[in-house]
Structure 1
Amino acid sequence: MFFNSSKWTEAPKEDASPIRKKGAARFFEVLGRDGLSFYKASMLCCLGCLPGFILMALGFIGSSVLFTLLGGIVGGMLGAPFLCSLIDTILRSLRDEPGFWWVTYKKAWRQNWKDSLLPGFVLGLLSGSWLSMLMILPAMEAVPSIIWICMGAGLIFAAGLFTYAFAQIPLVHLTPAQFLKNCIFFFLGYLPRTLLAAAVQAAYWVLFVLFLPLTLPLMLVTGFWLPWLIAVMVVYQPLDTAFSVEEIIRHRREEELNDSMENHSMFGPRGDD
């Protein structure tokens, strides 16, 4: 069903994934262990999106649709590589993968930035359009309720679709058409999880926009990491089922360990020689 061109070497089928805590217990477990890594990746994501945020804010304050759309596109394209690197950090934590955060973060940024530009452009354009509508509609008279309903439904749909889109980028390298097809399969095939993840994302960002500028300090605390950590935790099981993430990473760890042992035996001390 799913397109799967892994960015790691595929592994043969092995034992089931390790037993882990679930729900809130798992959330606080990974947060306590890797919270600082989440925070640093989130702050970099905020900096990447900052030019777009500034343009969108100027457009919103000045009632300029052009500036709002431009800000969305700029923020989406500049921030997308940083967002993918944040998600990569989260995925590595959920896989309990060891390693130094900065080393893996830089590697993920270099690996994913090209694949992230088109989804970032589309997400930025949609975000700018949605914010523009939020700016225009209150000034209009007798706006039909169906318009607000469509805006809410569109927001939930986009949040669910882009959650899967950006979560795939650190895992696989696919064409835009394959990414879209996978997103639709994920969206419909795991609808309860999709709606939960989308509701988390939509609620967080709608509240952030509606209560600006009071919510600006929130970006210094929860930034991007909080909604994305919850959303990725929700959709992680479908991603693992489709892409065999746990099997791939276990196989990679074994290969790295074997390579390390071979290098040690080749270049290590030779005893009596």
Structure 2
Amino acid sequence: MTLQTSAVRPGLGARNVAARAAIYAILIAFAAYFLMPIYVLVITALKPYAGVDVATMWQLPAVPSFDAFLRAWEQIGGNFTNSMLIVIPAALVSTMIGAVNGYVFAKWRFRGSEVIFRLVLFGMFLPYQGLIIPLVLTLRTLGLYGSIPGLIVVHAILGIPITALMFRTFFAGIPDELLDAAKIDGCGFFRIFRWLMLPVAPPVIAVVLLWQFTTIWNDFILAVVVLNSPTVAPVTVAVQNLAGSYSVEWNVQMAGALIAALPTIVVYLLLGKLFMRGLLAGAVKG
């Protein structure tokens, strides 16, 4: 028996090593495939316009130049600031509202709460194109059309369904006995939320914030509809205008696109570990 086991183990070990090597090779190939556009984007932005050519698009620049980034920033820097003014309050407000709603739907159920929750989730499946006309009419009535606060309100409201779902799924995993003990100690609705729910929620908060930040930052259609002036438009609209201009050189267009993509990359790098913890905790499951 001992001889058979020792004879089998090396074979199994070799097969495991081969399988793991194949998995890593496949993952590296997929990563390289998806990163190729980023590579071309970066090296093109670092080249002077005279060195930009389709025939040499894969070649590294002989001398990297940041002139394209400076020129791109001159054209989209104000719009970059507009995006920050939009995405930070919109992501924070939608996350806060989603946390309260998820807490209610998970732990303070009442008659008809499931029906209301399903109606809230229905908002996830409404296409933006079908909301444009009533959205514009409502914003005009409120005096918010064409303004950054108006777009913040839009994103904060449209983010409620997905944020409520994420928080509800996470909070549902917290034992009800903890809430019952807190109620016996005299804690009410907001004290339980503040001192029991929020301290264990950083993983799902990171997931929701990252999701909302990325979604709002990359938005284009709502920004075009709600903000009718280029001066208050976010960076996504400015980059589209930059790419659509024949007078703007390729390297400047690539630099503008890279500048627009950097915040989401930085946010993911900062919240990446919490994001994975939130996913493993079931924050986006169900």
- Regarding TM over 0.5, the answer is no
Specify the structure having the higher radius of gyration (Cα): 2
- Using structure 2 for the length normalisation, give the TM-score: 0.28
